[in-house]
Amino acid sequence: MHDVPYLHTTHVRSNFDVKEQIREYWSRRSETFDQSPAHGIHSKRELATWKRLIGDSAEGIGGGRVLELASGTGEFTRVLRALGCEVEGLDLSEAMIERASRKHGNDVRFYLGDAENAMLPDGRYDAVVCRHLVWTLLAPEDAFRDWLRVLKPGGHLVIIDGNWQHQALVAKVAARVAKIWDRISPRAVLYDAVAHRLIQDQLYFREGLLPDRLTGMLRDAGFTDGHTGPLQGVLASQLRAAGCGATVLAFCSRSAGPSS
């Protein structure tokens, strides 16, 4: 077993039980996480597409020190390392971190901690990157201020997420087909839909994560020069890798850090 640095927080919050539900759910998901088309990166084409997208969204990120929040099994860490970044990851689940550590060895340092209260040094990172995290936040305003705190002046925040509660028709059809396939396929079921829904109903963005609302909240937290846009080419790459089982990712948001 890998030694996992634990970032302990003494900040007691009323949402502790929800955090534990999230930790337990994603710890169980660690076993099948990479099999999901929207989570695993299943082809060189998809890896190259992600690399281009992140490079375009955060100019100059290559070679910089990057904090990857909700780093999971280290799949997206591959993209950041391919860009030449010095990556540090943080995740709430030790099971996720153990899998990530097996992929990246000593080349990436992973911390066990809460992405809403990272407890890492001020002004340490050139960029903060997260994929499929924001929709799970319980106190996003606090989280965004904390992410700004750990960024260097002029650093980048890159968010990849989606409005999962209000998916496009193609995503709904794909999700339904994937569920049917899970029932008849000999492989392990990829996720617990009941547990997922119970957690989703308790989240801040339980009614949906809209790009305009997210952009406004980031500006209120102190970020500037924000923009949102589609994940050009990513869905097509996922469809090639996984047929109709891909999930639509709604937007990629970047904000520059405070002016020096």
Whether 3 maps to a domain, the answer reads: no
Helix (H, G, I), strand (E, B) or coil at 253: strand
Q: Which domain covers residue 221, as residue numbers?
A: 16-256
What gap in Å lies between CA 210 and CA 28, rounded to an integer? 28
Whether 144 maps to a domain, the answer reads: yes
Whether 6 maps to a domain, the answer reads: no
Largest CA distance in the chain: 57
pLDDT the model gives residue 213: 87
> Which CATH number do you get for residue 211?
3.40.50.150
DSSP 151: E
DSSP letters spanning 154-200: EEEEEEEE--GGG--HHHHHHHHHHHHHHHHSSSPP---HHHHHHHH
pLDDT the model gives residue 89: 98
Give the confidence band of 10 by pLDDT, cuts at 50, 70, 90.
Answer: very low
**Residue whose tokens read 């340092």:** 109
Whether 251 maps to a domain, the answer reads: yes
Q: Which of 12-16, 82-86, 90-94, 215-219 has the lowest mean pLDDT?
A: 12-16
Q: Residue range 106-126: average pLDDT?
A: 96
pLDDT the model gives residue 167: 52
pLDDT the model gives residue 59: 84
Q: Where are the alpha helices (DSSP H) in the chain?
A: 16-29, 44-57, 75-82, 94-104, 140-150, 169-184, 193-200, 211-221, 234-242
Give the confidence band of 15 by pLDDT, cuts at 50, 70, 90.
Answer: low
* Enclosing H/E stretch for 227: strand 224-229
- Beta bridge pairs of residue 159: 130, 253
Whether 26 maps to a domain, the answer reads: yes
Please give the single-letter amino acid code of residue 36: S
Taking 70 as the threshold, does the pLDDT of residue 182 lie above it?
no
What pTM was computed for the model?
A: 0.78
| In contact, 258 and 222? CB cutoff 8 Å | yes
Q: Tell me how far CA of residue 120 lies from CA of 30, 48, 183, in angstroms.
A: 24, 30, 43
Q: Which of 11-20, 38-47, 143-152 has the lowest mean pLDDT?
A: 11-20
What gap in Å lies between CA 139 and CA 203, rounded to an integer? 9
CA angle 113, 145, 124 (to 5 degrees): 65
Whether 217 maps to a domain, the answer reads: yes
Whether 10 maps to a domain, the answer reads: no
**Which residues make Cβ contacts (< 8 Å) with residue 242, sequence separation at least 6?**
37, 42
CA nearest neighbour of 87 among 143, 39, 158, 38: 158
Give the confidence band of 65 by pLDDT, cuts at 50, 70, 90.
Answer: very high
pLDDT the model gives residue 169: 47
More confident residue, 238 or 219: 219
Average pLDDT, the chain: 78
Q: Percent of the chain having pLDDT more than 90?
A: 40
Whether 84 maps to a domain, the answer reads: yes
pLDDT the model gives residue 16: 66
Q: How many domains does the chain have?
A: 1
pLDDT the model gives residue 240: 45
Taking 90 as the threshold, does the pLDDT of residue 239 lie above it?
no
